[in-house]
Structures are given as structure tokens and as C-alpha cells.
Chains A and B, each alone.
Chain A
């Protein structure tokens, strides 16, 4: 058994990735209340903020005439949904450890990278499913980027999901409790998301805040989503700061960084 060939070994690891992915997906389907909750949250945001703030912003300096705050907000909400779904999915490792199932995975004859990859892909798939459901709203909001646009959106969403699930996994493997994770949530993830331009644009904020927004990597993710969704409408001119390829490069580098971080920090042994 020790000398199984390289290709069988590869096949075995791929099957391990698939198995871990499948478990995530089985849980996702089983826990339909969580799915509904995760879908309802962005819809509630969209509804309340969209209606509540629409009159405030309509006709102001921010929005070109004829466009709504909902249209402004939608890309940010989509990004948020992908971000939180993938993050929460990956930190389920903490629960797995708490309830013991993690040991079953750790003692299995599979490599550490397969575990990390399976978990990340599981989280990313869940995030993409939710993102895709939200994308179905686009035509009703007067946003339609075309099929190529949808593919680009998927790519960006996938990269955001990989970034956050990688980050979540790296954190979760070094954290024994949900409390520590709550701290990170409140003091790192929430501010990053608030400053990403999802709620208000870069233009017109104080310069220190503009600086923070510029170094917030999520800004580029939201910018990319906006760019694709608005296409060549006047909204794009007013709100999109960078080219798609520029945003894509940054988001892709982030995803790569998070993946490597997760691989490095996710350790098997207890020392």
C-alpha cells in the first residue's frame, strides 16, 4: 500500500477534495433554514435600505438622473452575500472541532492541501449558488450585463468567495472558540465591508477615509461588480473607478494570497 503510483495517489487526493466538497454541499442542502436565512438577509437589506435611502439620494450629486439607490447598492449587497456565506461556511471548521468531526477528517489518509481545497471549494460553491440566485434579480432592477457579463460576475464572485473562505479557514484553524471569531468579524470584516464602497461611494468622503477605502481590498471587488453590472450606462461613468482587468488582478491576487495563507496555517497536528 505504501508504493501506490503517483497517478493513483493524485486520483485519491482528488476524490478526497470531492468528498469534503460533497459533505459541505450535503450540509448546505440539509440545513435549508440556514440557506433561506442567508438569502433573506441581502433581500431585507436591499428592500429596507433601497426604499429608505432612495428618496435621500435620488436626484442628488451621487446618482445620475433616473437611477435608484437600489441600483447603486445592489453590487455591494451581492458582494456582501458572497462574502458572508463563504466566510461562515469555512469557519464551520470551529464547530467541526467542537463536535469532534474534525478528527475524523484529520486522521484520514488524505493530504492537508486536499482538506483545505475541499473546504474552500465547498464554501465557494455555496456562495456562488446564493450569488446566482441574487443575480436573477438584476433584470427587475433594470440591470442586465449580458451573458458575458454574468460570466465575469461569476468569476469575481468566485474569487471573493475563495478569498474569504481561505481567510476564514486560516483564522478558524488557529482559533478554538466562536468568541475570537466574533471579534474578527466585528473589528475586521465589518469595517472592511463598510469601507468597500458598498453603501456610499468614494467620491466626496474626507481624505483620510478615502485613503482607507483605497487600501481596502474589497473596494476593488465591489468596483469590479459595479463595472460589469452598469456596463456603459451613465452609472458606470459616475461610480466605477477602475478598469475590469485592474480590479480583477487585485481580486485574483487576494484570492491567491488567502489560499496560500490557509494552506500554511491549517495544521494537522496539535504540536
Chain B
């Protein structure tokens, strides 16, 4: 559905996207994960023909974004990061204009609108002005609008940013339903790590470069093993003892006087460690790595959720 090769964008001195390559398959949910300013929106705009690439090539549904922009635009649906509804018009009017712009026959459009509005649970608000909608309702309306003309690829730029957990889960529900029902490929960006778990594959982008690309599980086992945390009275002794016994094992002191062991096979190491140092260990926890760990490892920093959500709030307010 998407074939991207060496795609690059410079804004003057700013090298926003530095030659990225990836593929998105049919009916795949592909996540683009990165911190603020990583180049997610820029990439999406290039794929949607709104920004001309400086270099590289991108095929969307088989059409070249540089030479066949009309065909590309016909094949995609997009939900922008910032609201793009006419909030002085009603939801129905917004949807009707969209159908007309994309040449959807009006009887087909009426049936589609009904179906999609039921899916996003807005069927009762159809005749109300968008001005009266909350941020989450607008987002859901935009998703419905983006699907009205049955695109082959749906672009979602941070579709859940700034929304509450319940709404976010609902939107994820729709996205999965869509893929099942319509076979649409979804290319979405997010900076919520927990959400990226919903994707079939994830590309982690930082400073305009893809630093990793794999399934969520693949990323986790590739970049962070299981983590065994050992509670102890005497971390130094325990640390030294483990190092002596198993020099190849990755051991480090934890932040609160624990000892942390990182390994690919956590489940089999727990009994061995306990058996060997039963008098030193008071408690053991085994945790699977989170994408957080992967992200920190790859980019050297955590995604600052508080900062990000402050930006989101500002963005959502602009729609009011």
C-alpha cells in the first residue's frame, strides 16, 4: 500500500526528514512513533501530497506522490493532527461536502454516513453544528469523514492526542474494526507508547530518521530483554556475587537499592538466581520490557508525556 524510499524533506536549514524508507502492507496498521518534532507530520504531509519531498520516492496505493498526486489523493483518507472541520457547519454538512468533493454519489453517501456515524457513535449529533462538539467528538467525526470515500490508505496523525483514556480506547476499537471490515491500511502517528502496542508494526522515528522498525514484540525482544528485579538488604554483595558466578549476565544496581538483571529468558533465570542466593534475596519481580524501555534505549530519552499533552491541549483548543 505504501512504498517509501529515501524520502527526505528540508525546510531551509531544518532537515525535517532525513531519507526514510519503509513499506506498509495491505490491511496493516502501521505506527509511526516519535517525540515532538521528529518529522511524523512532515512525512504524512508528503505522503498526502501536501508537501513536496526534497528527495526520494513514495508510492501510495501504487501511485507516485510526486507525479500522480491526483490519483494519490483519490486513494487516501486523512485525519490531520489539528482539526480540519468547518465548525460553523453541522456534522451532516461537513460530511456532505466531503462526499461531493470526492465524487461519492449522494445515495451511496447517505448510507455510508449512517453506517460510519453509528460506528463512531455520533448518529444523534448529525444535525448539530460542529462548534458544539467536544474535542473527542470532533476527532471521531473526522475519522468518519476520512473514511467516507472508502480510501485504500487511512492516514491518522496523532488521532488520540489529548483525548481521555476511554475515548482513546474507543478510537482504537474503530481502527481495528475498520481494518477488519474494509481492509484499509492504516498509517498512524502517535507519541503514546502504550498505544503503539495496538499496531501491527511500528517505526520509531527520531530527528527525521527511522531508528527501528519491527512488531511491538520484536522491538521489545530486540532492544530490551526481560527485567528481573531482586529486592535485597545488601545490594553490593549480591551484585558482586552474581557477577562472579555468571560474568556474561547483564546486572546493574537499581535506583532504590535493588539489583536489576536484564536477560532474554527471564523466566528461566528467576529460579536459578533464587536458588543460588536464597539468603540474600527477599523478593523477586519479573517484568516484560515496555516500549518505554525500547524508546529510551533508542533515543536516549523518554517521551515526556506531560509536555506532549500540554501541546495537545493547546492544539485542541484552537478548534474552539
Chain A proximity of B100: nearest CB distance (Å): 4
A19 touching B89 by the CB < 8 A rule? no
Of the candidate stretches A75-83, A103-111, A174-182, A236-244, the one touching chain B is A103-111
Interface residues of B in 246-297 (CB under 8 A from A): none
For residue A100, which residues in chain B have a CB less than 8 angstroms away from its CB? 80, 82-85, 318-319
A270 touching B50 by the CB < 8 A rule? yes
A103 touching B84 by the CB < 8 A rule? yes
Chain A proximity of B84: nearest CB distance (Å): 4
Interface string of B39-74 (1 = CB under 8 A from A): 000000100111110000000000100001011011
A12 touching B103 by the CB < 8 A rule? yes
Chain A proximity of B60: nearest CB distance (Å): 12
B80 touching A2 by the CB < 8 A rule? no
A26 with B98, Cβ < 8 A, contacts A2-B63, A103-B50 known: no
Interface status of A211 (Cβ within 8 A of chain B): no
B97 touching A19 by the CB < 8 A rule? yes
Which B residue sits closest to A18, measured CB to CB? B100
Interface status of A186 (Cβ within 8 A of chain B): no
A1 with B74, Cβ < 8 A, contacts A16-B101, A23-B97, A106-B50 known: yes
A101 touching B73 by the CB < 8 A rule? no
Chain A proximity of B94: nearest CB distance (Å): 8
Measured in the bound complex, the distance between the Cα atoms of B62 and A2 in whole Å is 11
Interface string of B96-119 (1 = CB under 8 A from A): 011011110000000000000000
Interface string of A69-92 (1 = CB under 8 A from B): 000000000000000000000000
Interface status of A66 (Cβ within 8 A of chain B): no
Measured in the bound complex, the distance between the Cα atoms of B103 and A111 in whole Å is 13
A104 with B84, Cβ < 8 A, contacts A12-B103, A110-B101 known: yes
For residue A15, which residues in chain B have a CB less than 8 angstroms away from its CB? 100, 103
For residue B101, which residues in chain A have a CB less than 8 angstroms away from its CB? 16, 19, 105, 108-110
For residue A246, which residues in chain B have a CB less than 8 angstroms away from its CB? none
A109 touching B50 by the CB < 8 A rule? no
Name A's interface SS: helix
A101 touching B102 by the CB < 8 A rule? no
For residue B97, which residues in chain A have a CB less than 8 angstroms away from its CB? 19, 22-23
Chain B proximity of A202: nearest CB distance (Å): 43
For residue A101, which residues in chain B have a CB less than 8 angstroms away from its CB? 84-86
Interface status of B24 (Cβ within 8 A of chain A): no
For residue A18, which residues in chain B have a CB less than 8 angstroms away from its CB? 100
Measured in the bound complex, the distance between the Cα atoms of B78 and A268 in whole Å is 16
For residue B102, which residues in chain A have a CB less than 8 angstroms away from its CB? 108-109
Interface status of B87 (Cβ within 8 A of chain A): yes
Measured in the bound complex, the distance between the Cα atoms of B130 and A26 in whole Å is 14
A109 with B74, Cβ < 8 A, contacts A99-B319, A100-B319, A103-B84 known: yes
B88 touching A30 by the CB < 8 A rule? yes
- Chain B residues close to A by CB (< 8 Å): 11, 45, 48-52, 63, 68, 70-71, 73-76, 78, 80, 82-89, 93, 97-98, 100-103, 318-319
What are the nearest 8 A-B pairs in CB distance?
A: A100-B84, A109-B73, A19-B100, A108-B101, A109-B74, A103-B84, A104-B84, A101-B86
